[in-house]
Every structure is written in C-alpha cells, then in structure tokens.
Amino acid sequence: MPMAQAEATAPRTSGGDARHPVVVELFQSQGCSSCPPANANVNAIVDRDDILALSFAVTYWDKLGWKDTFAKPEYTQRQRDYAKRASNFDVATPQVVINGRSGLIGHKKDELERAIVAGGALVAGPSIERMGDTLVVGTGRRDQAARVLLVSYDPRAVEVPISAGENNGRTLPHRDVVHSLIDLGEWKGSELMLKIPPLADPNYKIAVLLQQGPGGPIVSARKF
C-alpha cells in the first residue's frame, strides 16, 4: 500500500488504547544534526497507552565521524523497504512512519500529533495476547495475512554523549530504542501460537507487529 502524507487536519484523538496502539516508528541517527527535535518529540509520547513508539537507529550517517551506538543494518533496510513500497517516500533522517502507512519528518509536535490521529488505532486486526513465554495471535481475516515481528526495546531513558560528527559535544536522550527485530513466522488468519525467545536484557520490553511484508502496512500491534 503506497504511503501518503497524513491529513492536515484531524480530530485530536487517536482512538487507540493499550491493546490497539498507533505504531510510531522513528528512524534516526546520533550522527544526524537534524534528528534531536524529532527524537525529543517521540520521546515525549512513549509512555502513552495509545501509542507504541519505537526508535530505529540507522547506519548511513556513521560515515560523518560518529558511529551510532544503537544502529544496525537491518534497521536501515527496514526504512529502505518502506521507501520501496511508497511513491512519495524517500530515505532520510529524521523520519517517522505511522502504522507502516504514512510518513513525515516528525520535527514539529503538531504535525506528529496530526499524523498519529490520522493514522488511527489498529482496531481491525487480530488480537495479540501473551501467556508467559507464548504469544497468541487470534483469528481474523485471511486477506490480512502478515508476518509476526517480535520487537525488543529499551523503555528506559538513555543519555548518549556524542564526541564526534555533526552532534559533537551534545548529549542525546533516547527512549524505546529497538535492540532486536525477529520474524517469528506468518499469521494466515487462524489462531497462531508462537514461543517468545528470551530477552538479551531483562530490562527490555517486547512488542509485536503484524506486518504485511517488508515495508508493508501494519495490521495489528501490541506492547507488553
């Protein structure tokens, strides 16, 4: 599904809740001087029940003299996959993607909020539940078949001092930094039970995305 810019005006309610959050993905780099405002805007909403905010650090600004401490090539590829599926979406930082469907820069709070409202809660997708180390994806429409992606992220505030590159001398705060993104398998409309692998750090949290292929729309999400 092509990405589109969010509507300019919208009622200021996302319609989301803890079981049906709006997915807000930030693609940023510690080596990008334009990223801190968008990073701050996303940091400010991470604790909202109606939002699943995830910060993906990309690698392509590492060449400017500072290697991002959280960046991984697969996060760069994730952003490029979005660009491949969209007709008006270029790879850049900072960049925010809402529900895998619409994109914006994210440096203005009002624009970000309008995009979240326009994206809306993912209420039409299947339920996602957790029972211990087992993930249960409920029944749903077969035309929503999707990959089940397990995200582990750090909900804590992490301050990173930068000693080179465009942000040299600054200390940048990070929240909800993604540390792994694992494809657990495919959901095809029937109930699906999957094992959750152990976390690399007990302080991390997990979230689940049901996404229709690389760069495709997200049909359901849940954070635990």
Residue 14 lies in a domain: no
First to last CA, the chain: 28
pLDDT at 7: 44
For 34-60, b/e burial (b = at least 16 CB within 10 A) is bbbebbebbbebbebebbbbbbbbbbb
Residue 127 lies in a domain: yes
Query: Residue 22: is its pLDDT beyond 90?
Result: yes
What is residue 4's DSSP assignment?
Answer: B
Residue 12 lies in a domain: no
Query: Residue 120: is its pLDDT beyond 90?
Result: yes
Q: What residue has token string 């810019």?
A: 5
**Residues 167, 61: contact at Cβ < 8 Å?**
no
Q: Provide the number of structural domains found in the chain.
A: 1
What proportion of the chain, given as a percentage, has pLDDT over 90?
Answer: 88
* Range from 78-87, 149-158, 175-184, 191-200 carrying the lowest mean pLDDT: 78-87
Residue 4 lies in a domain: no
CATH number, domain of 35, equals 3.40.30.10
Residue 13 lies in a domain: no
Q: Give CA–CA dist 6/132, Å, rounded.
A: 37
- Provide the angle, in degrees to the nearest 10, between the axes of the packed helices 35-43 and 109-119: 60
Query: Residue 3: is its pLDDT beyond 60?
Result: no
Q: Give CA–CA dist 149/208, Å, rounded.
A: 6
Residue 201 lies in a domain: yes
Task: Record the pTM.
Answer: 0.92
Higher pLDDT: 13 or 185? It is 185
Model pLDDT for residues 203-223, shown as the tens digit of each residue: 999 999 999 999 999 999 999
**Residues 103, 83: contact at Cβ < 8 Å?**
no
Q: Give CA–CA dist 99/122, Å, rounded.
A: 8
Nearest Cα residue to 76 out of 27, 9, 116: 27
Residue 72 lies in a domain: yes
What six digits make up the tokens of 17? 């809740």
What six digits make up the tokens of 144? 């929503």
Identify residue 186 by its one-letter amino acid code: E
Model pLDDT for residues 129-165, shown as the tens digit of each residue: 999 999 999 999 999 999 999 999 999 999 999 999 9
Residue 155 lies in a domain: yes
pLDDT at 67: 96
pLDDT at 54: 98
pLDDT at 85: 87
Q: Tell me which residue range forms the domain holding 68.
A: 22-223
